[in-house]
Amino acid sequence: MTERLPGRLEGADELRVTPPFDAEAETRVAPDEREAEDPPAPPADSAPPAEHAPGRLVIPDGVGAFVGMPSGVRRSVGIVVSRYNGDITTKLLEGALGALTAAGVQRDRIDVLQVPGAFELPLGAMALAKSRRYACVVALGCVIRGETPHFDYIAAEAASGLQLAALETGVPVVLGVLTTENRAQAEARAGGAHGNKGEEAASSALEMADVFARLRAVTAAPGPSAA
Ligand code: INI
């Protein structure tokens, strides 16, 4: 089986800079534009599939609102990326770097830490976050289902370990790990028909860094008592 490749992680010197993730455009994709490799639609009498809805949130007037923007100005970003399925993770890395630089992050303020596989992403992310050098950490990997339960362990440990790294350190750590049934689904989400999840992850990381900065700016200043 050639589905899973420990492969090489290429350098990302020549980047394709693409615009940041457009949530509205994403929600406008018609069902018939979806890829043929996606699972077939369930029968009409079963529950409808949950729709991805990254779109807009409206916060009503009259409350305090903290809303982050994916701005990279004066921010340093750590990226941890796994070498396993390196042809895919190289594209996720290119997408992330493109989104970060498009958002204003200077290239010399981005550090990339390579790890062998997705299982090692949490430890790498934790190390980056604990260094206190980065406003946020982006974790990139690709786990493709094989014939054994290995997939489930690696995917679940990567996701929960990355969350732990964020919760333990308070530094935003975002999940840019593809978990797919096959290579075609992974390719479609690494610069193919379904966009580039590396870009989305990078944008989410900057948004989290920004909303935390806004919260800190207010909570650090003396304000009205909670009592
Ligand atoms: N690592 C991945 O990143 N993706 C995979 O699909 C994968 N599979 O299928 O085995 C994978 N395995 C390696 C794993 O992440 C660890 O590097 C290894 O177990 C050593 O701890």
Cβ pair 109, 77 in contact under 8 A: yes
Is residue 73 very low, low, confident or very high in pLDDT (cuts 50, 70, 90)? Answer: very high
Q: Render pLDDT for 47-57 as a digit per residue (tens, 0 to 9).
A: 445 566 677 89
Assess if CATH 3.40.50.960 describes domain 76-219.
Answer: yes
Please tell me the pTM assigned to this model: 0.79
- Residue by residue, DSSP assigns 154-192 as HHHHHHHHHHHHHHHH-S-EEEEEEEESSHHHHHHTEEE
> Of ligand 1's atoms, which has the minimum distance to the CA of residue 141?
3
Domain spans of the chain?
A: 76-219
Q: Residue 163 contacts by C-beta under 8 Å, 6 or more apart in sequence?
A: 173, 175
The DSSP code for 118 is G
Cβ of 120 less than 6 Å from ligand 1: yes
The total number of residues written for the chain in this structure:
227
Written as six digits, the tokens of 63 are: 């409350």
Nearest-angstrom CA–CA distance, 184 and 3: 9
Is 150 among the catalytic positions? yes
pLDDT of residue 52: 63
**Which atom of ligand 1 has the smallest separation from the CA of 158?**
15
- Does the beta carbon of 141 sit less than 6 angstroms from any atom of ligand 1? yes
pLDDT band at residue 26, thresholds of 50, 70 and 90? Answer: very low
Per-residue confidence band for 37, with pLDDT thresholds at 50, 70 and 90: very low
| Catalytic residue, candidates 34, 150, 216, 218 | 150
Nearest-Å Rg of the Cα atoms of the chain is 19
Which of the pair, 19 or 150, is modelled with greater confidence?
Answer: 150
Token duo for residue 198: 């590396």
